[in-house]
Structure formats: structure tokens, C-alpha cells
Amino acid sequence: ESIEERVELNLRIRQLQSVLLLIGDAETGQRGYLLTDKRQYLAPYEHAVTDLPQMLDAIRAAAAEDAALSTALQNVKDLVLLKLGELAETIRLHDAGQQAAALNLVQTDAGQHYMEEVRNILGTVMDELRVRRDSADQAGNLGFQRLDGLRELAQPAQLIAGDPDAHRLRCA
């Protein structure tokens, strides 16, 4: 059970790290586009807009049995949607020829506040998942330590019985 739990916790941590990377990519794409007026810079933004909501829903569904985690992930999704909305609005303003208005929106720092909150919540959630993973690791290690102890207890009996593999077990 602890191995499966560790694998699941590691998967969730990696998924949450991917959420942070995708949001950062969205911001980078938006900035690149606003600065250069080249649409190819929007590719990471468009990728994030498509993938982030689905990714967050999948992570939240996997954590449905954990009410606190599920609530935190819903808060993250709400903030991510606000952030993506802010990015979309700056792009819309830019495309409408209102570059000054797009820049003014960026300078309100609303998007930065959304990102800080997302980073704070995800940081706390990932820390909690790491604690759980480490606890599962310790539980798993106790099992291996018990197994090693049983193997050591079995060695004298194997030597007495003339087991030819007993020496190899002791050296392992």
C-alpha cells in the first residue's frame, strides 16, 4: 500500500508542478506577443488555456476523497481562470489596437497577485503532499527493515540446517 501511495503522491506533486510551469508559459507567451506583436509567441499561452482547466479538474477529481486538498485545488483553479482571463484581456486589448490599455491592465498587478496566490497555495499543497510521501516512505522502510531483521534471524537456522545459500544471504 505504501508504494502505491508514494507513486500517487509523486504523481500529484509532478502534476502540480506542471500547473505552475504552464501558467508561467502562458505569461511568457503573452509578454512575448505584447512586446513583439508576433503571434507565434502566443503558442505557449494557447497551449496553457487549453490544458490548464482540464489538468486542474483531473487533479481535483483524483483528490476528491481529501476535502481540504480538493478545496485548495478548486481555489487554485479559480485563481488560474482569473489569471488566464487577465492574460486574455490584455491580448484582446492589444489586438484591438489599444496597446496602452493592455499595458495599463498589466500594470494594475492583478495578474501578479493571482500568480502569488496560486504559488502560495500550490506550495503549501505540495509541501503537504511531500510530508505524506515521506511518511509513506518511512512506513515502507520500516517494512524493509523488518524484512532484513527476519532474514538475519533466519541465517543461523539455515547455517545449522546446512543451507548452502545461507552464507550468500549473510553477505547480501
Q: Quote the pLDDT of residue 167.
A: 44
CA dihedral 131, 136, 140, 142 (to 10 degrees): 60
162/165 Cα distance (integer angstroms): 9
Q: Quote the pLDDT of residue 1.
A: 57
Which residue in 171, 168, 146, 166 sits closest to 156, CA to CA?
166
Q: Which of 60-64, 113-117, 132-136, 167-171 has the lowest mean pLDDT?
A: 167-171
Average pLDDT over residues 84-111: 96
pLDDT grade for 3, boundaries at 50, 70 and 90 = confident
* SS3 at position 98: coil
Which residue in 78, 83, 43 sits closest to 57, CA to CA?
78
Please say whether the beta carbons of 13 and 133 come within 8 A.
Answer: yes
Q: Quote the pLDDT of residue 103.
A: 94
Please say whether the beta carbons of 52 and 78 come within 8 A.
Answer: no
Q: Which of 61-75, 103-117, 118-132 has the lowest mean pLDDT?
A: 61-75
**pTM beyond 0.85:** no
pLDDT per position as a tens digit, 12-62: 999 999 999 999 999 999 999 999 999 999 999 999 999 999 999 998 888
Please say whether the beta carbons of 22 and 52 come within 8 A.
Answer: yes
φ, ψ (nearest 5 deg) of residue 120: -65, -50
pLDDT above 70 covers a percentage of the chain that reads 80
Average pLDDT over residues 74-91: 96
Give Cβ neighbours of residue 87 (< 8 Å, ≥ 6 apart).
Answer: 26, 27, 30, 45, 111
Q: Quote the pLDDT of residue 47.
A: 96
Average pLDDT over residues 96-108: 96
Please say whether the beta carbons of 93 and 99 come within 8 A.
Answer: yes
Angle between helices 67-95 and 110-160 (to 10 degrees): 140
Q: Quote the pLDDT of residue 166.
A: 45
